Structure 1
């Protein structure tokens, strides 16, 4: 990731701040990795994170790993300090026991003999342990064996937790390294000349280009239609008195049509709601009407024959 601001960040303060923060985070990660790899490697060349791996997800994972590593280092330092205090207390107890057992020998002679036979490193270590074994340095009046035992147990529990956390971090680091290797292999395959895309990629690209050209050609027409519809909508929003009168006349005509339809519906009053039953009832009424029509015609013919004068034979 580049440490220089992009052209878009020059005109965007928020983007510039984001890029500056990201650059600081990457600088911190580079320094942290350099310190760790320098301690674990004898070579002068230290591998760096490749540019294509400098993604936000990788940055978040590395920041979390660095924070966890620093916390583990602090806990290890506390454990070492506690172990040193414990050792100094044990040395003080052993010295007191040694003094009680060698009461016949003068104390100054014993200390002189010990100091005479110590190496310079041993003398410095003895002075350090002696300074740590003083009650004032432990903020207690006198060492308590039960309290020290409890603290040792707590320190052992903490050390176990730290060891388990360190194992989990090691597993996470192994997974990250495997993923990094896989991504490097994938990038190498993509950048190689032998890489070939899916069989239908070329055809799909041509189809997408053709559809894009068609849409681009139809875009002016669609824009004109949208503008015309917007203008018509604006004109329709302005209602005049003539428009209200015209709508009122159309409403009156529709009201007359509704009344005619209501009259037609009333003519079917008395029929059942079921369509089949209504058809049967209508058919029976129609048959009855036909019978009455035939009876009327027969009565009319009889009336005509009765009233017509009879012809006499000559």
Structure 2
């Protein structure tokens, strides 16, 4: 409050309330520190009568805030420790009551059995429970925590029947391998998801382009023709049932025999045979192309063609003989002298 004027410090109610609250907080902090140092000094040296005061430190709002947070955390930890202590005490009382009842039952059963049962071996289940209880009671808090952690790990790794270090390490390695496989699968799924997202965005952009791009829009004439085609399709669709009934009536009236695949195959083979025969006949008829339709005139023309053929044959033979005589060597006859 040194930055304020004395009159403001006296006559400002808000400043006075803030100063009173701060003083109350500092008093609470000083009392807590004094108790802490008193308890620590009594625990370390119970013979010394003088209690050392807390060390001096800078008193500012930041320090006050940190100390208040520390006090709150310490009180919460103390409450948690008290609750745990009460729970442990109640659990210990229950265990002691169960042990007392069990011992009483065992003593009564041994008294009822007689002297001949005195040499009988104790029950294995009771012995195991007593042994476990004794081990649990002999463990420290850290040991109990470690034992609970080992039991939790064994149950989590499904190794309760064999919680040996080798088995647990083997299960840890298997779990690590599965975790790596799951990470790889998760990475692949992420890549696939990103790819699908990209493809979806690309298709959405393409669809938007198809809807808005001018090159994909219909012109005025095309729009009218499209409307006309749509009306024609609707008209034909409305007439389709009537046409179907008309076709069915014609089939009933004409009596079209039912066709099978085998009948169609036979008809196709007959049709192919007819086509082959037609080709042969066309080739034969083509030889008489150019002849007159009259039979006598055709015969006369045929005789004329035969005469021309004979003349051409004779001329060919004559030319061949002349060629042979011209190309053959001349034999010179020589007279022999005696």
**TM-score (norm. length: structure 1):** 0.31
Greater RCO structure (CA 8 Å; 6+ sep): 1
**TM-score (norm. length: structure 2):** 0.29
Larger radius of gyration: 2
